[in-house]
């Protein structure tokens, strides 16, 4: 996914809708080292989704 997400905070929710019995199983943030973060979501079928251009809110 190449969309930039700005002003993300601990109150931000990302809704992920899966079909055919697949559901998100876990998610984690990864520091990209350039001031942005990625969120990696692992699904019950073992596949992953990475949102890679997340910028946190100040404060």
Question: What pLDDT, in 10s, does the model give residues 26-55?
Answer: 999 999 999 999 999 999 999 998 988 999
pLDDT of residue 42: 93
d(CA 4, CA 52): 8
Query: Smallest Cα–Cα separation from 3: which of 53, 57, 56, 50?
Result: 53
First-to-last CA distance in the chain? 26
pLDDT band at 17 (very low <50, low <70, confident <90, very high): confident
């Amino acid at each position: 996914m190449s969309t930039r997400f700005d002003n993300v905070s601990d109150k931000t929710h990302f809704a992920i809708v899966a079909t055919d019995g697949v559901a998100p199983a876990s998610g984690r943030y990864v520091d990209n080292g350039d001031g942005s973060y990625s969120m990696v979501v692992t699904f019950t079928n073992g596949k992953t989704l990475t949102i890679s251009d997340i910028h946190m809110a100040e404060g």
